[in-house]
Structure 1
Amino acid sequence: MAPKKRASRAQKKGVADMAASPPPAHVDAMDTGSLKVESRGDGVVVVVECGPKKIEQMAALDIVQLNSLNLPLPLALKPGERGLGLGSELTRPLHGNALLEELSKMRQERFLTDLELACKSKAFDVHKLVISSVSQYFREILAKDPAMKRLELPSLSPLDPAAAEDLNLQTCVYVWNIAAAYGLLPVRDAARRYVLDNFVRFSETALFNQLTLEQIAAFLLDDSLVLPSEVVAFQLAMKWLDFDETRHPHAAELLAHVRFETIPASELVSQVQPVARMMLDPQCHRLLVDAMNYHLLPYQQNTLQSRRTQVRGGQPTLLTVGGRPSITERALSREVLWRDPREGGATWRHLSQLPAKSFNQCVAVMDGFLYVAGGEDQNDARNQAKHAVSTLSRYDPRFNTWLHLASMRQRRTHFSLAATGGRLFAIGGRNVEGLLATTESYLPSANAWQMRAPMEVPRCCHASATLPSGDILVSGGYINCAYSRSVACYSVASDSWSERPPLETPRGWHCSATLAGAVYVAGGSQLGAGGERVDVLSVEVFSPEAAGGEGGGGAWSRVAPLPLGVSTAGLSPLGDQLYLLGGWNEAEKRYKAAVQRYDPATDSWAATTEELPEPTVGVSCCTLTLPPRQAARRPQHRNTPQAAHQEPARVRSREGSANAPVIITT
């Protein structure tokens, strides 16, 4: 046996210092002969007291525990000597992720980076080791010149959404995954947008069938998914399910994202019902039954609205309804036009036709439907009240259909209509019997009108708007043979009326709309000093939270006046602005086609070059969410014969709840 070698003084000193050091408070120590054993919880450490050659074993401790012992390693190991030994293998499942995170952090801090990648407008500091391990391209370059400090890449530029211009069906998913992995959110969103916009073409590639359940479900759930129809969404979902039998148990889960309620009933019968799974799988069959019930119960649709009843990619759109155009002054209009902003300057296009010609009617939007009520069915300037009507119709933009609903209990023209709390409220107006103080409300689920508390005084030619609280604010109008400043508020909860601070300027035949919690009153006319009708140019805004003045809570203030005075015009918010359309100008005694836009941010009106197809009075205006228009339609003017290629609007006549819906082609 070889003689023992004497340990160096340095080694002895290191061990001696170690032995002299007190163990940590959480470490128990005990003597075992010539060894000093220090034990910790789940392991035992045997430390040689007299020299490193006596080290025999060390129990398995993790790195943190070993570091806490603060043991100095021998400065050098001589031949034949044994060093520290670990009795087990240490593993850490998340070590790879932690390593990558630290490397990324080091690169961001430019710590130990040793290569600069330079493109046209930006440079990136990286680690050669890391970049060569993930890219064969850089590995080959660095293999030729390991000492390289800077690499020019003139053909590259920083990634941004503009990279979407180079996307195609073969690269979109690859770019998406790369962008997601490296946190390039604008590029990731651009790639996702490309797939959503080209989903039908994407479904024809092999990548479509490789989507996971979560991925295809996310696509079908997305409101902005572009498809020719919802039937296509169903067909693509079935294509993905049938590609692999192991996907069949997830059929109901995936098909729940198909919006069957937006598929016409005829197509549910012809395209969906024949698919065996929709009849044999109880959960899938339930989806079909729910959709059919939705179509069979038109009066219940307001209460059945959900995400599955909304069209994909719907856009809030400005509409005009009815009115009396100047070109055909003696004829009333049935036209419903929509504003198409896609071609630079906005274009007004034909959307549908009213079930009957209408003038001075009122409109309201509720639960995604357009409601048109009352007005006059004949043009008789000498006795407008004589031709007042009580009709109510509902337009469904998803299917381009009209549904005749129960008529109001009283004929009304020059009245106001408001939607709040799931009901419609028709207020005041006049008919052949004179001015009205009555209020009645319509409940869709019952398809019936009910009389409510009347106003204190009869009024017509007023305007109303809904407050954030759900109450209805009625302003101005014609009361006791005079234009009025009076403002009244109807409480839906208590079915009662109360006074509010009056307008600064009396007016009638004006408009009112709610924008950002405030009620705006614009346009109208009043009597001048000589008793003649004059335009009211001032615009007033009611702030319900402001300190109350005369008449109770809230206060009125003025904003920028109108550049062009109009009466019997249409007013509606769109986005964060107000649009005032058409109307009668007293100063010029002329019909107007002007489109005036108000921006609260700048408190200014813009008399844009945009105009209605024809100067029109008695026109109604609203904002309704329409299905996306994939192709531009030819502009249609009022009261012109419909082109043969246009889809006719359908009207369902349903005056009595006991009658089945009748489809009428107009």
Structure 2
Amino acid sequence: MEQEKEEKKEKAVEEKDTGNEDEKDQEEEEEAKDIEENEVEPEEKDEEEGGTELSTEEDMGSYEDVLKVYSDDRYPTDIFLTLKEFRDSSLLTDLTLSTDDGKDFNVHSLVLAAVSAHVQEALIERNWKRNWSMFVGPEVDHVGLQAVLEFAYTGAILALNRETLITGTSLQLQYEPALSLCLNFLQQEINPDSCLDVVSFAEAYGMVHLLEMAEDFVLRQFQKVSCTSKFKDLRAEHLLKYLNSKSLCVPSELVVFKAVVAWIQAKPTTRMMLAKELMKTIHFPLMTFKEFKEVQSLNMWSDRSLSKLFAKIFEDFCSNDTDPQNQCRVYLPKESLVLVGGEQISGDFSCRRISKELWFGNSLRNHTGIMKAMEWRQLGEMPEPPRLSHEVAVLKGLLYVIGGRKYDPLQNSWERLADMREKRCSFSVVVLNGKLYAIGGDSQLNNVESVECYCPTANSWSFTRPLDMPLTGHAGCVLHEQIFVSGGLSSGYQCQSSMFSYHPEKGNTYLANMNKPRAHHCMESLGGHLYVAGGVTTDENMAMVDHLACEVYNPVADCWTAIMRLTAPHVGAGSAVLEGKFYVLGGYSQEDYSDTKLTHRYDPNLQQWENMGKMPGPNNDIRASVLFLPPHLRS
């Protein structure tokens, strides 16, 4: 073959020298040139490329520009395994790390300098001198240092727990990867038994963010934290700080009282003198008679030194003090319920008003016994037009009013966005994988089956796979990265009991039906389940009536279970989940078209609905979401 190639080369060169311009000779010249450059015969090349010919110069150019990159995914792992073997055998190690407890570790300075700012600075100062040493300080023990080195050479730490944390070592070495790993571990594993340890740990090392997170956990899980043994070791200044905080979340004043008594009785000799100051943090007038009987029956009051204190407590309980400080306990959630748009009908049904208003729940207020209320404040107004039967969603801290508006709470500003491709009302919107999906709805008195997807990056809507049938007045929700749709009205305005999961490419997958048909209702995901409440259903005469029954869907078992009924109708209500509780807000009654001016909250732990007070303004066809608002908007 090589001889044949050479002969063709010589023949091509000879023909070129003779100036032969015959078309056949020109083709042979090009062929010879191709052979010289690629050392592959044309027949062989065609065979390698599956026999495909390149018919134009443009095709040839694109073919020659194709580049292939080959890589070995195991390469980084193999390199560090080899480096670890070198370190274990003390090969090429040039840095000795010494701990206060007398342990020495021989390592490669370049490996540590790649991840440790402290080692990197020291290495630069020494201009990479061989065989140097570093004392890491009394804060670092050999166990922590060994774990850091393990992470530096392997990217993992074996058997990490609260007892083997390496945060101190990471801080000393300014070793950010290991430090981040430890902080993530602490945040993920925090619980009522460990949170106070995390508070102490964060204080000792000046970790502001970790301290805020841990103290926030203590405040919002106070009832559980106060029952742990470590709570009894809490410093007095910390306890007072928690008791006076507006982020202290407790179901009743009795919980606070029991926590204070448990703390005092753990060390009565030294702590009894603080009883008076601690009792001032408890709102005794908010207790019921049954709760105060528990206070009165406490053996602690037999101590004569506390007789005056109990007399003052009893006086407070019996008083009709109108001081606002004693009328309720104020609790500030981290996030706020936000209400958008809707309509309000006058008491005599003479007029209706569609709203542009935005309201937010600033605080929750516990009054006497089970009496609770939401403190509402006006957030502002959305740009024209006013809205009802609309939808809202929150994505990356921004509030989307579908379609066409976006609200940034940090800037307190609105931005115009792309409109949907099809007009719709009484539809549902869900957030999945960073995109918004508008599902079904009513378009100019015709139900639609279309589904649109909004991409925030491109600021554009595109159609995805439609539903199996037109649907309006349904509810949509995301759970376990799946879209679920329940109930609604068909094209014949028949109330549906269906439940299905929707995939943008595959379409509908039908699941177990609800116990009764339902439309214009609420559905929210909570604790791995889907809770459904409110709306309308059909009676035995196929007439639309208020639906007070509520149910919960278990996706694992694919079944529905009834829960406590609502005490008032909520048709076209708003809904949201705030701090593990299901809120249903406003709406109206299908039977007499009167407004439901109440907010109800379902607590899965108590398995009951709570009355959370009145709505602030419009409440029919209103929409709700949960949004983080900056402090200056809540002050």
TM class, shorter-length: 0.3 to 0.5
- TM-score by length of structure 2 reads 0.47
- Structure with greater proportional helix content: 2
- TM-score by length of structure 1 reads 0.45
Structure with higher RCO (Cα < 8 A, 6+ apart): 1
